[in-house]
Amino acid sequence: MGKCGLTAFAALSLFLAQAAAAEKTGAGGITVLGDGLEFSAASTGLTDGSPLLLDGALGGVAYSSSAAGTTELEAGFYSKMVAVPGTFDYSGAAASSYTLNWTASNPAGTSYDVFASTLDQVEPYMVFYSTTGTEAPIEDLYPNTSYYNFILANYMDGDYAGYSSATGVTLAAPVAEGSFRFDDAGHNAVNVSFTAFANPAPPEGGDWGSAPDLPAAGYGMSSVVYGSHVFVSGGYTGVYASSAVYRAGVSPSGLDAWQPAGFMPEGLYGHQLVTARGRLYVIGGHSQGAIRANVWSAYISSAGALSAWEPEQALDIPVYFHAAAVSGGWLHVLGGYTTGGPVTAIQSARLDAAGSPGTWDSATNTLPEPRYAHSLTLLAGRLYAAGGRDGASARSEVWGYELAADGEINSSAFTYTSLPAPRYGHTALAAANSLYIIGGNNGSSAQSSVFVSTVAAAPAAAAPWAAYPASGFTATQFAAGVSAGGALYVFGGSAGG
């Protein structure tokens, strides 16, 4: 289990330049680079006592160049036909962009691949741009942020120079106006959200650290925080779907030891936990025997104790690995996997005064595409659905939904900036007007990377993602998590394999 403060210092790593090919000198002052059997160097002759330059045959695409009285035949990579770009710098800085400029004297047709990242390494990069010119617009960046920029010269998709690097800094963004929104967050507590200015928090603080371990391991759990308590339930243990519910007190000083809080009506994984009006809700999930549409609720006492579970209005569509959130007086369930594959349906129900959901509406709103193993986060008065799978592939799209004053979805999806890389089975948390995407699977393996985006005042405003230092966080997928007490917590999960 991991814990991370909401800020962390930048992780630094050394990028190693590509090694140059070994030189070999033969008779007559001819220097040959890369003279393996796969390369064909043709032949040379003399005219008036000077070297006659002949390009190599196509076997290895050898190139030729001359220096005083010397012929150089070069084949494949690291040819001196391509030089490292010079005077690599930036200009025209704005709040979300700048322009990179460089000088070069390479052959016509040389392309330049440019990468920008908030980490001192090429991967994972936030922006990629390719051009045959000598400048590149770098856009959709965080305001008031330093970026590391890398450039790679490439001639004929086989002749590369080493990387050059330079830093660039964006300007600070102005403060945006926005309205406050209040949501139930526990006994005698409310959650106040608003659209703040777009500048990110200072990148300083501690690494991911340890927190009290759960009593049992598992993945596909669900978790939620209500007042001063964190609840975690269910999950697949590797043998069976668990019905256990645990709770722990949380404060700015950390997380208390876990205590048993009871059992759900049945063992579930891929379900969702949400809270509203003093109740804890369990929604959908897989019982290891069937996909469920059941919705259950239990009252939460001020001490964190749960009452007996009560059945609520069942979903229209049984789903698991769906996403759910409460906004105002509404409960929303987006996507998920059902018999036959993933769905686009958004199932919404209004909560009555006692907190019971009414009739589910699964026809009014939809996701743009089918999704499961995605995330849904309430942030700055909007819902954000990120990543997931479409049935065949991991996806990087992020969609947002505007909400009415009472929390009802009142618009079709708008497109938010896509994640820097596909993710499903990740953990999504909101804190300080920022959205964090933690771990997950990129389509081939579990990941340790963390992406963060600060939500802008207008949905259409630039909303870039940055790499958040993940020092101490191990590759994890299908984990649960909460944001509480000034820290991000991640529980359980699987390393894949």
Q: pLDDT tens digits, residue range 445-477? A: 999 999 988 876 666 665 788 887 667 889 999
Kindly tell me if the per-residue pLDDT of 27 is higher than 90: no
Residue where a domain terminates, one of 169, 192, 216: 169
- 322 plus 375 within the same structural domain: yes
Sheet holding 382-386, edge to edge: 375-379, 382-386, 398-402, 414-416
- 152 plus 187 within the same structural domain: no
Q: Where residue 311 sits, what CATH number does that domain have?
A: 2.120.10.80
Closest CA to 336 of 365, 375, 377: 375
Structural domains in the chain (count): 3
Q: Has residue 359 been placed in a domain?
A: yes
Bridge partners, residue 132, by sequence: none
Contact 474, 494 (CB under 8 A): no
Q: Quote the pTM value.
A: 0.68
Dihedral sign, Cα of residue 276, residue 277, residue 278, residue 283: negative
Across the chain, what does the average pLDDT equal? 80
Kindly tell me if the per-residue pLDDT of 236 is higher than 50: yes
Give mean pLDDT, residues 155-169. 82
Kindly tell me if the per-residue pLDDT of 410 is higher than 70: yes
- 184 plus 53 within the same structural domain: no
Exposure of 5 by Cβ count < 10 A (0-12 exposed, 13-18 middle, 19+ buried)? middle
Give mean pLDDT, residues 427-443. 91
Residue where a domain terminates, one of 129, 144, 169: 169
Residues with Cβ within 8 Å of 135's Cβ and at least 6 positions away in sequence, in order, are 99, 100, 101, 102
Lowest mean pLDDT among 44-48, 182-186, 333-337, 465-469: 44-48
- 220 plus 145 within the same structural domain: no
Q: Has residue 2 been placed in a domain?
A: no
Cβ atoms within 10 A of the Cβ of 483, count?
A: 18
How far is the first Cα of the chain from the last one, in angstroms, to the nearest whole number? 19
Q: Has residue 6 been placed in a domain?
A: no
What is the model's pLDDT at position 372?
98
- 298 plus 161 within the same structural domain: no
- 211 plus 109 within the same structural domain: no
- 316 plus 357 within the same structural domain: yes
- 403 plus 453 within the same structural domain: yes
Q: Has residue 42 been placed in a domain?
A: yes
Contact 131, 162 (CB under 8 A): no
Q: What does the alpha-carbon distance between residue 285 and residue 294 come to, in Å, rounded to a whole number?
A: 8
| Element containing residue 63 per DSSP (H, E) | strand 62-67
Q: Has residue 65 been placed in a domain?
A: yes
Q: Which residue has the higher pLDDT, 182 or 355?
A: 355
> What confidence tens digit (pLDDT) does each residue in 258-314 have?
999 999 999 999 999 999 989 999 999 999 889 999 999 999 998 889 999 999 999
Q: Has residue 48 been placed in a domain?
A: yes
> What confidence tens digit (pLDDT) does each residue in 79-110 have?
457 888 888 999 999 888 999 999 988 888 89
368 falls in which pLDDT band (50, 70, 90)? very high
Structure tokens at 361: 């509406």
Q: Where residue 110 sits, what CATH number does that domain have?
A: 2.60.40.10
Phi, psi values for residue 29, rounded to 5°: 75, 25
- 239 plus 145 within the same structural domain: no
Give mean pLDDT, residues 161-176. 80
227 falls in which pLDDT band (50, 70, 90)? confident
Q: Has residue 44 been placed in a domain?
A: yes
Q: Has residue 15 been placed in a domain?
A: no
366 DSSP assignment = E
Q: What does the alpha-carbon distance between residue 349 and residue 334 come to, in Å, rounded to a whole number?
A: 12
Give the range of the structural domain holding residue 47, as residue numbers without chain letter.
23-75
Q: DSSP letter string over 404-439? A: -TTS-B-S--EEEPPPSS--BS-EEEEETTEEEEE-
- 27 plus 146 within the same structural domain: no
Give mean pLDDT, residues 393-422. 93
What is the model's pLDDT at position 252?
81
- 329 plus 422 within the same structural domain: yes
Hey, what's the torsion of the CAs at 426, 432, 434, 435, to 10 degrees?
20
- 155 plus 229 within the same structural domain: no
Q: What does the alpha-carbon distance between residue 392 and residue 395 come to, in Å, rounded to a whole number?
A: 9
Q: What does the alpha-carbon distance between residue 140 and residue 458 come to, in Å, rounded to a whole number?
A: 14
Give mean pLDDT, residues 367-393. 95
Q: What are the angstrom distances between the C-alpha of 383 and each of 331, 389, 454?
A: 12, 18, 14
Q: What angle do CA 445, 426, 285 make, to 5 degrees?
A: 110
Q: DSSP letter string over 71-133? A: EEEEESSS-TTS---EEEEEE---SS-EEEEEE--PPTT-EEEEEEESSSSSSS-SEEEEESS
Residue where a domain terminates, one of 120, 141, 169: 169
Closest CA to 145 of 120, 121, 172: 172
Q: Which amino acid is located at 327 in the chain?
A: S
